[in-house]
């Protein structure tokens, strides 16, 4: 089995990579700039018995996505899981964001999913799955989250169209949307308020706690299995009952 996780050397992406890392599995972790975190993630995944490659590159451009997938293709002729977790945060209101930076963020946080799927299509097998990591901010406006939330809203729409195109190939595409997880990206949005936000989130959650890595990783593991063969083009929230809506 082979899995590619963009933004896979930290946070949610690394947690997903850990879940699939087993002896005999090829794990490809894409990152943009933090080489120290990439090296640490590689060592951790290899200690679990998997083969691991770290691939530096910006998948927010078609050429960047193609280059990353080309490095995967140099090591394997199949890709069972493609997980897009890479994110660019601009913690500003839309009225003040630099338009060029906003465009770059929307590309990485949304459109890059298409760039990656197009590049990876020759590696997909029947049963391969594509995942996009979304969030509540893709549907509910949150302060200083527009650059991320708008991109995620775009990607949720793209997943529905990708699902329709991939289904005849035996390939699935779905979104998984955990509630607040304490990641570097979240701390870029909330800064010094992050710890308070996490405490408030846990206290307000009907389940009495915040989501853990195991909660959303277990869902992804199920959606990647043959048991989920007919689940296509969905956005599945993992929230413990927070912010429920029709």
Instruction: Give the model confidence (pLDDT) of 181-192 as tens digits.
Output: 888 888 888 888
Instruction: Give the model confidence (pLDDT) of 75-127 as tens digits.
Output: 999 999 999 999 999 999 999 999 999 999 999 999 999 999 999 999 999 99
Arithmetic mean of pLDDT, 220-240: 97
Q: Which residue has the tokens 């949304």?
A: 110
Q: Which of 16-20, 58-62, 137-141 has the lowest mean pLDDT?
A: 137-141
- 187 within domain boundaries: yes
Alpha carbon distance 170, 30 (integer Å):
25
Alpha carbon distance 122, 141 (integer Å):
37
Instruction: Give the model confidence (pLDDT) of 134-153 as tens digits.
Output: 999 899 999 999 999 999 99
Instruction: Using pLDDT thresholds of 50, 70 and 90, give the confidence band for residue 239.
Output: very high
Alpha carbon distance 85, 100 (integer Å):
22
**Contact of 63 with 107, CB cutoff 8 Å:** no
- 245 within domain boundaries: no
Total number of domains in the chain: 1
Is the pLDDT at 66 greater than 90? The verdict is yes
Calculated CA dihedral for residues 219, 221, 226, 227, nearest 10 degrees: -30
- 246 within domain boundaries: no
Is the pLDDT at 246 greater than 80? The verdict is no
Q: Domain range spanning residue 64?
A: 2-238
User: Phi, psi (5° rounding) for residue 238?
Assistant: -120, 95
Closest CA to 108 of 69, 68, 148, 163: 148
- 243 within domain boundaries: no
The CATH number covering residue 24 comes to 3.40.50.720
Q: Which residue has the tokens 């949307």?
A: 177
- 17 within domain boundaries: yes
- 163 within domain boundaries: yes
Residues 6+ apart with CB under 8 A from 98: none
Instruction: Give the model confidence (pLDDT) of 166-183 as tens digits.
Output: 999 999 999 999 988 888
The DSSP call for residue 27 is E
- Identify the pLDDT of residue 245: 78
- Identify the pLDDT of residue 244: 87
- 180 within domain boundaries: yes
- 244 within domain boundaries: no
């Amino acid at each position: 089995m082979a899995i590619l996780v963009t933004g896979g050397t930290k946070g949610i992406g690394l947690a997903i990579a850990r879940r699939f890392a087993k002896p005999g599995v090829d794990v490809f972790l894409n990152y943009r700039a933090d080489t120290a975190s990439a090296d640490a993630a590689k060592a951790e995944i290899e200690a679990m018995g998997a083969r691991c490659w770290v691939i530096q590159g910006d998948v927010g451009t078609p050429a960047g996505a193609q280059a990353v997938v080309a490095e995967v293709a140099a090591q394997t002729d199949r890709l069972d899981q493609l997980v897009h977790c890479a994110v660019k945060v601009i913690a500003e209101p839309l009225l003040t964001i630099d338009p060029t930076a906003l465009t770059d963020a929307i590309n990485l946080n949304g459109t890059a999913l298409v760039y990656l799927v197009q590049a990876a299509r020759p590696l997909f097998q029947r049963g391969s799955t594509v995942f996009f990591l979304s969030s509540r901010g893709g549907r509910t406006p949150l302060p200083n989250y527009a650059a991320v939330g708008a991109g995620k809203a775009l990607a949720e729409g793209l997943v529905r169209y990708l699902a329709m195109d991939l289904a005849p190939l035996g390939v699935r595409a779905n979104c998984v949307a955990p509630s607040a997880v304490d990641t570097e990206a979240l701390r870029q949005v909330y800064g010094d308020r992050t710890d308070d936000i996490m405490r408030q989130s846990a206290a307000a959650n009907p389940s009495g706690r915040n989501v853990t890595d195991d909660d959303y990783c277990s869902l992804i593991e199920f959606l990647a299995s043959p048991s989920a063969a007919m689940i296509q083009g969905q956005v599945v929230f993992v929230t413990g009952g927070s912010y429920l809506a029709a």
